[in-house]
């Protein structure tokens, strides 16, 4: 692709994301749905005027990393920590139940091979944290109690997903699973997530001092983006998802992040607020590229719409995928039904994480075209269902809370 074509495609992505997003918002639909639909419209599924090239994929990846930075920046670490046990319960349930259902259906009902059934099951364990948190932000619920559980559970889902993917990929290439290699990946991810906020906080102090002395405008966006990308790279090198690097950097610079044993790293609210204000336009520039890219990655023309097998498999996996994630919310004790429904619904979208699993399965020859098409349909439908479900739940709660008591 030449530079002129790339620039034109970028124009189409940004413009279509804004136009269709505005239309969605006008009709009280989460704007992220508009951005996903924009990708489907201009992508191979409909008009075919934009293809997901490697440069666009890189921009989309930067978009989700920056989005997770903003999420970390706005996260109340104390509340996130207090919901840790609940998040772990939801994450484990949200992985085990859909995996078990999808594996049993694939292996015993549709008679797929063992490795294909494992791939299908793992594809349905994913949770798209980017889509879920964007919807919660659109609904102004990103700081709710449910959101803290969802954030923690989705991050744990990503970690579990990366370990499962590493094990499955190794199995497809060598025919054997090395537990030590998988354990090493998990240890690296945990160590990174524990130490990276401390390191990012220390670097943030240096940036703050530099900003006080600098006479050139624009220092904060330049250095903060560099910090985010640095930690995303470190996360990748250690085997963790890159977006965890962005999330860790955001947590470190949050106004509500504090180390009791390292008081010298305490950030002033004024500095955190300036970081938030100056980074927001950059996040809003890149994050739509990520959501449009999900639509671009889908080619609905390749789906054999007249094949009964595709529809039967899609229906079975869709039920397993939705029921499995919804059930995760009901593993919690002491929560009301509304909170359980919100948490379960928020865990439903698969988005980019499920696509990664599906693409690895297809490229390795484990999944055939029809099976891949069914998985793509399930990913698409679950990604579109969750925003509508969350909006409906919160709208119903709002209307019921406004009903005057007799």
The CATH number of domain 3-396 is 1.20.1530.20: yes
Average pLDDT of every residue of the chain? 80
The predicted structure's pLDDT at residue 145 = 80
pTM of structure: 0.72
The predicted structure's pLDDT at residue 262 = 43
Give Cα 295 distance to the centre of its chain.
14
Segment 129-154 shows an average pLDDT of 79
Which H or E element spans position 53? none
Q: In sequence order, what DSSP letters do the residues of 66-109 get, joined into one string? A: HHHHHHHHH--HHHHHHTHHHHHHHHHHHHHHHHHHHHHIIIII
* Cβ neighbours of 79 (radius 10 Å): 17
Distance of alpha carbon 271 from alpha carbon 254, whole angstroms: 10
Segment 165-171 shows an average pLDDT of 69
The predicted structure's pLDDT at residue 31 = 79
Distance of alpha carbon 264 from alpha carbon 352, whole angstroms: 39
With a cut of 90, say whether residue 20 has pLDDT above it.
yes
Q: Are 324 and 102 in contact (CB under 8 A)?
A: yes
Paired tokens of 327: 């059930």
Segment 345-370 shows an average pLDDT of 76
Distance of alpha carbon 357 from alpha carbon 126, whole angstroms: 9
Distance of alpha carbon 152 from alpha carbon 139, whole angstroms: 19
Share of the chain above pLDDT 90, in %: 14
In the block, residue with structure tokens 């998802």:
241
- 44-57 burial: b if 16+ Cβ within 10 Å, else e: bbeeeebebeeebe
Between residues 300 and 278, which one has the greater pLDDT?
Answer: 278
- 142-159 burial: b if 16+ Cβ within 10 Å, else e: bebbbbbbbbbbbbbbbb
Name the pLDDT band for 76 (thresholds 50, 70, 90).
Answer: low
Where along the chain do its domains lie?
A: 3-396
* Cβ neighbours of 301 (radius 10 Å): 10
Give Cα 219 distance to the centre of its chain.
29
Distance of alpha carbon 1 from alpha carbon 101, whole angstroms: 42
The predicted structure's pLDDT at residue 388 = 82
Q: Which ranges of 297-350 would DSSP assign to H, the alpha helix?
A: 308-329, 337-346
Segment 288-304 shows an average pLDDT of 81
The predicted structure's pLDDT at residue 264 = 42
Instruction: Tell me the pLDDT tens digit for each residue of 233-284.
Output: 988 887 766 777 888 888 777 765 554 444 444 555 677 778 888 888 998 8
The predicted structure's pLDDT at residue 352 = 63
The predicted structure's pLDDT at residue 104 = 94
DSSP symbol at 253: T
The predicted structure's pLDDT at residue 101 = 93
The predicted structure's pLDDT at residue 319 = 93
Segment 171-190 shows an average pLDDT of 68
């Amino acid at each position: 692709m030449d530079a002129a074509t790339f620039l034109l495609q970028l124009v189409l992505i940004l413009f279509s994301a804004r136009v269709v997003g505005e239309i969605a918002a006008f009709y009280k639909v989460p704007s992220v749905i508009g951005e996903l639909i924009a990708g489907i419209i201009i992508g191979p599924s409909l008009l075919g005027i934009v293809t997901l090239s490697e440069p666009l994929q890189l921009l989309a990846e930067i978009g989700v990393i920056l989005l997770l930075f903003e999420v970390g920046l706005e996260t109340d670490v104390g509340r996130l920590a207090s919901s840790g046990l609940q998040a772990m319960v939801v994450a484990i349930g949200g992985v085990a139940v859909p995996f078990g259902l999808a594996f049993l259906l694939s292996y015993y009902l549709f008679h797929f091979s063992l490795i294909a059934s494992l791939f299908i099951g793992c594809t349905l364990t994913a949770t798209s944290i980017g889509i879920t948190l964007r919807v919660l932000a659109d609904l102004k619920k990103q700081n709710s109690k449910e959101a803290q559980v969802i954030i923690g559970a989705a991050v744990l889902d990503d970690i579990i997903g990366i370990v499962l993917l590493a094990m499955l990929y190794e199995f497809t290439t060598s025919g054997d699973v090395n537990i030590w290699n998988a354990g090493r990946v998990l240890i690296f991810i945990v160590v990174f997530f524990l130490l990276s906020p401390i390191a990012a906080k220390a670097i943030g102090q240096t940036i703050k001092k530099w900003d006080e002395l600098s006479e050139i405008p624009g220092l904060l966006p330049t250095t903060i983006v560099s910090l985010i990308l640095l930690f995303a790279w470190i996360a990748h090198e250690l085997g963790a998802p890159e977006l965890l690097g962005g999330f860790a950097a955001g947590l470190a610079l949050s106004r509500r992040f504090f180390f009791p044993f390292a008081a010298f790293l305490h950030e002033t609210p004024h500095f955190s607020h300036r970081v938030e204000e100056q980074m927001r336009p950059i996040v809003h520039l890149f994050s739509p590229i990520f959501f449009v890219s999900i639509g671009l990655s889908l080619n609905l023309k390749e789906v054999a719409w007249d094949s009964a097998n595709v529809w039967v498999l899609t229906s079975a996996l869709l039920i397993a995928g939705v029921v499995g994630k919804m059930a995760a919310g009901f593993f919690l004790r002491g929560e009301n039904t509304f909170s359980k429904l919100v948490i379960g619904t928020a865990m439903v979208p698969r988005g980019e994480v499920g696509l990664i699993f599906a693409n690895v399965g297809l490229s390795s020859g484990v999944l055939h075209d029809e099976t891949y098409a069914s998985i793509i349909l399930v990913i698409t439908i679950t990604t579109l269902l969750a925003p509508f479900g969350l909006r409906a739940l919160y709208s119903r709660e709002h209307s019921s809370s406004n009903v005057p008591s007799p």
